[in-house]
Structure 1
C-alpha cells in the first residue's frame, strides 16, 4: 500500500479553496485553515515532538482532522493508526498517524470531510464563496 507523504498531504490540503497554512503553535506544526477556521494540522509525531526512542509512531507525521462524532469512533475501530484527536476535542477530531496503513483514497476522503465539515458551519455567504469553487 502506498503511504501519503507529508508533502502530498500538505499539497492536497492546500488544494482546497481558500486554504492556507498558519503556524500558531510554532514552526513544527502546520495548521491548515479556511477563512480563519482550522480544518487540519500536520506535524511530526505529537505536535512536532518526535523522539529518538525508536517508536515509529512518534517519528511519523500526524494529521489532525475534524470528523463527525459517530464516524470518528468508527474510524478508530477500523484503523489502528486513527486515534482520538491529540490536543483536540476528542469527540470531533481524530489524529491520523501517516504510517502507510490507511489507503490513499480513504485519507483523501477524511481530508475532504474535515474541510467540508468546517465550511458547513460557516455563515452562508462564506460557504457560498467556497462552494462555488469546489
Structure 2
C-alpha cells in the first residue's frame, strides 16, 4: 500500500514538478504542480489512510468510481474532472501510480507546445 513518502517521491520524479503548500489557512495541504498547474493535492501528514486528489478524464473518472469504493468525486474540486482516492489498499498501487501519471499528462497536454515538448 502506497504511503505519503512513496506518493511524494513518485510525483517529484516527474519532469519539472514542484511541491507547494499554497493554502495559508490549510497549511497541511500539499500540491504538486507542473508548469505552475496542480495535478495532485494531498494532506500528506494526515493520519492513514492517505487521500490524494488527481485530475482524471471524465469518462474514466466515472468508471473508476464505479469499480472502487475508495475512489470518489474530488473533494472540494470540480467533480467531473477530479477524483479523490483513499489509499487504503483497496485500489492496486500500480493503478494509483497510473492515475497520478494520467493526472500529470492531462495537465501537460493543456500546456503550450514549447512547454509540452520540454516535458516529454
Same fold (TM over 0.5): yes
Question: The residue matched to 1:8 in structure 2 has which SS?
Answer: helix
Larger radius of gyration: 1
Which residue in 1 is equivalent to 2:37? 37
Give the distance between the partners of 1:44 and 1:112, measured in 2 at CA.
18
Check whether the contact 1:44–1:60 (CA below 8 A) recurs between aligned residues: no
Q: Among residues 19, 22, 34, which one is paired with 1:21 in the alignment? A: 19
Deviation beyond 3 Å, 4+ runs, structure 1: none
Q: How high is the TM-score relative to the length of structure 2?
A: 0.93
Give the distance between the partners of 2:11 and 2:85, measured in 1 at CA.
14
Q: How high is the TM-score relative to the length of structure 1?
A: 0.83
Give the distance between the partners of 2:5 and 2:110, measured in 1 at CA.
28
Pairwise CA RMSD of aligned residues?
Answer: 1.5
Which residue in 2 is equivalent to 1:68? 57
Give the distance between the partners of 2:42 and 2:6, measured in 1 at CA.
11
Deviations 1:90-110 (A, max 9, x none): 000000011111111111111
| Deviation of the 1:27 alpha carbon | 2.6
What are the ranges of 5 or more consecutive residues in structure 2 without an aligned counterpart?
none
Deviations 1:48-81 (A, max 9, x none): 6x6xxxxxxxx42110000000000000000110
